[in-house]
A and B are shown apart, each in its own frame.
Chain A
Amino acid sequence: MHVLKDICLDVQRGEFVALAGPSGCGKSTLLTLVGGLKSVQDGVLDVLGYRLNGCSPVLLNRLRSKIGMVFQSHHLMEFLTAMQNVQVATEAVIDRSYRAREQRCLELLASVGLRDKANQYPSMLSGGQKQRVAFARALACDPELIVADEPTAALDGKTGREVVMTLQSVAKERSISIVMATHDPRVMEMADRVIAIDDGRLVPHSSAGFR
């Protein structure tokens, strides 16, 4: 059974693409494929120059280390501080010294406005702050692409938009592309392009029933 059909999508460097569509339409499936978390059964998928059809686990790992991922739930490790949660992602990039990685983490936390929360555990942070830490973690490996799955779903509208705005500004600064699944029309407004999926196919955005 094919979950996604006839999808043809090119994302430019530094572009912010919002994926819209009803629940179960295939947004998350597309993100798992783009993120290299699942292999493609049929068709052709090129991400950051890697052809993912029949790609080896080593290559998939290499790809993953170039993609920052943000999930609906923040998925922070509760036993690590904000700083350590970001540090975990930098440790996958083995060609940097410990001190350089540490410095990088502090900069990232500062860029999402949480420099002063570096030593706090997730349980001491608000929902918005946790998601910001998750963004900082996604940015930690110097990604070329950020894949985000409804990162504002668990936040109130205002906080959600602030969080996305922070991510967008950091991404623009570093020419990082963003592919973000979202239901929030105001987040869609912030995107450079909105693509809708319905029943596993790309459809004109207006026909997805959001505007």
Chain B
Amino acid sequence: MLHPFHRSLPLAWLLLTRQPARLITAFVGVAAAGILILMQFGFQEALFNSSISIVSKFDADLVLLSTQSASLTGMAGFPEERLSSVVRSSEVESVMPVRWRYVKWRLPGEVQSRLAIAIGINPFQQVFRDSEIVSQQKLLGDRGRILYDSLSRPEFGPVQKQFEAGKNVVAYVGEHRLFVAGLVRFGPSFGYDSSFLTSIASLNEIFADSAGSIELGVVKLAPGSDPERVVREISPQLPDDVRLMTKSAFESYEKRYWANSKPIGFVFSFCSLMGLAVGAMMVYQLLHMDVTFHLPAYALLMSIGYRRQRLETIVFVEGLILSGLGFPLAWMVSAFLCYLVATYTSLPMVLSMQMVATTFLMILFMCSTSALLAMGKIRDADPADLFQ
């Protein structure tokens, strides 16, 4: 079975390269399918990663949230006293309240306001493990101070530029004036384009009607504790309006929300399949035409004792060659496009090795399937025709 690949005449390669124009078309087709799939994966991963970019910076083992919260884009509040139900456990080191609210952000002189995420913390508790935040969070002790996300979309105004130029930057949330006291880096997501960190007290001034209510409880366990076991132990004692999750379970929950509950998750998968289908059609078309064009050669090979299985192997190898040729180009172009998108949108567009390997397997499958379909054409090769 290895014979066609090992130390033999590279017939598949020679047949493919005989018509350079068609080869280039198929090569571009495979690459285009690869780019489409890789970019979809890139966007999907960016969607998932960006949705948890802030949570992933929590210095936490567990997260307490309302049972009504479906995702970070739709957080429901719960009474802050619920934290005391968690703190009773001897393995809990600290429990910190966090507010998580959408606010309407606007710079002075602008009429239009935009939705941003405001995260309220106690400035004297270490909610985040990010040193950039830890070193600045005390500034939030003064009312109305914020740490602005420097990776916010540019439509939110030249906040970073002005702040770095030493100017006093003021923004409005409703009628409330906020002062930028520092910059942090969270990055936008598909659910919000900007965010800032402030104190719970400052947020409670804006949302006076929900003062005393919080959206998240960030729980830190004593060293050596097993988060899952603690969740199992504490959960039965919690009131019905809250639930406790490990941080990683919460992140998975958020990713699942985007993958399953929002149409965008389906759209990404669908676009990947579309890319695969279009690529498969292009490769099939080329291989079918290639077999048709070389029917006399296949007939000759049959007349000199080549079994049909060996001829089919040649077509199959042609498919493998196309995937091997097209994929590296797809990878290079996609990596460059991801860099461009990440630079422009600040979305965490990264092509992980797992994504690259998965895409390569998909391309391999696409080319193999096309080759298997094109093999049928070999049946038309009749060595008896050579006598005419």
Contacts and interface: CB of A to CB of B under 8 A. Distances in A.
Question: Are these two chains actual partners, yes or no?
Answer: yes
Contact of B387 (A28, A77, A137, A141): A28
Contact of B305 (A32, A65, A75, A77): A65
Nearest to A38: B384
A92 B306 contact: yes
A98 B296 CA distance: 25
Interface stretch (A7-15, A79-87, A112-120, A183-191): A79-87
Contact of B9 (A28, A31, A91, A93): A91
A94 B309 CA distance: 14
A87 B9 contact: yes
A144 interface: no
Interface in A46-99: 57-58, 61-62, 64-66, 68-69, 71-72, 75, 77, 79-80, 84, 87-89, 91-94, 98
Interface stretch (B11-19, B188-196, B348-356): B11-19
A65 B14 contact: no
A80 B304 contact: no
Given A71-B386, A79-B14, A92 B304 contact: yes
A31 B304 contact: no
Interface in A174-200: none
B303 A64 contact: yes
B216 to A, nearest CB: 68
Contacts of A88: 9, 11, 301, 304
A35 interface: yes
B-side interface size class? 20 to 34
B15 A79 contact: yes
A68 B297 CA distance: 16
Given A79-B15, A92-B304, A141-B304, A149 B9 contact: no
Given A79-B14, A87-B9, A31 B305 contact: no
B3 interface: yes
Nearest to A33: B384
B305 A141 contact: yes
B305 A92 contact: yes
A157 B234 CA distance: 102
B321 to A, nearest CB: 15
Pick the most buried of B7, B17, B305: most chain A CB atoms within 10 A of its CB. Answer: B305
Interface in B281-310: 296-297, 300-308
Contacts of A137: 304
A37 B300 CA distance: 11
A77 B383 contact: no
Given A32-B387, A92-B306, A77 B300 contact: yes
B8 interface: yes
Contacts of A92: 301, 304-306
A120 to B, nearest CB: 16
A58 B310 CA distance: 12
A31 B3 contact: no
A23 to B, nearest CB: 12
A64 B305 CA distance: 5
B137 to A, nearest CB: 71
B303 to A, nearest CB: 5
Contacts of A93: 305
Contacts of A28: 387-388
A57 B308 CA distance: 9
Contacts of B296: 75
A144 to B, nearest CB: 13
A71 B7 CA distance: 29
Nearest to A84: B9
Given A87-B9, A88-B9, A91-B9, A37 B388 contact: no
A34 B255 CA distance: 69
Interface of B: 3, 7-9, 11, 14-15, 17-18, 296-297, 300-308, 382-384, 386-388
Interface of A: 28, 31-32, 35, 37-38, 57-58, 61-62, 64-66, 68-69, 71-72, 75, 77, 79-80, 84, 87-89, 91-94, 98, 137, 141, 149
Going nearest first, the 10 A-B pairs with the smallest beta carbon separation are A65-B305, A92-B305, A98-B7, A64-B305, A37-B384, A28-B387, A79-B18, A37-B383, A32-B384, A89-B304
Given A57-B308, A68-B304, A92-B305, 9 more contacts: A28-B387, A28-B388, A32-B384, A35-B303, A37-B303, A69-B304, A75-B300, A79-B14, A89-B304
